[in-house]
Amino acid sequence: MVAYRLYCLDGVGRIELADYIDAADDTAAVDKARQLKSGGLKCEVWAGSRLVATLSASELRIGSAR
């Protein structure tokens, strides 16, 4: 397992939620982020100092296409 960080931002770019995600790889971490914050504005998934993914509001909708 790898420890990832999830940061969800508000409308002006400030962090409104910060959480840890344990996942086997980048893909699993992004999937977990979508589940945790469905309906959010924008979230970022980080592994250490590496930005893994930026998820827009449309990517965080329940049932969104990948």
The residues spanned by each domain of the chain are 2-60
Nearest to 37 by CA among 61, 15, 64, 20: 61
**Pairing of β 42-47 and β 50-56:** antiparallel
Phi, psi of 50, deg, nearest 5? -100, 125
Chain centre distance of CA 50: 13
Is 65 or 22 the better-scoring residue by pLDDT?
Answer: 22
Whose structure tokens read 């992004």? 30
What are the tens digits of pLDDT across the range 53-63?
A: 999 888 877 54
Question: What global pTM score does this model have?
Answer: 0.83
For 11-54, write each residue's pLDDT tens digit.
888 888 899 999 999 999 999 998 887 666 889 999 999 999 99
Q: From CA 56, how far away is CA 43, in angstroms rounded? A: 7
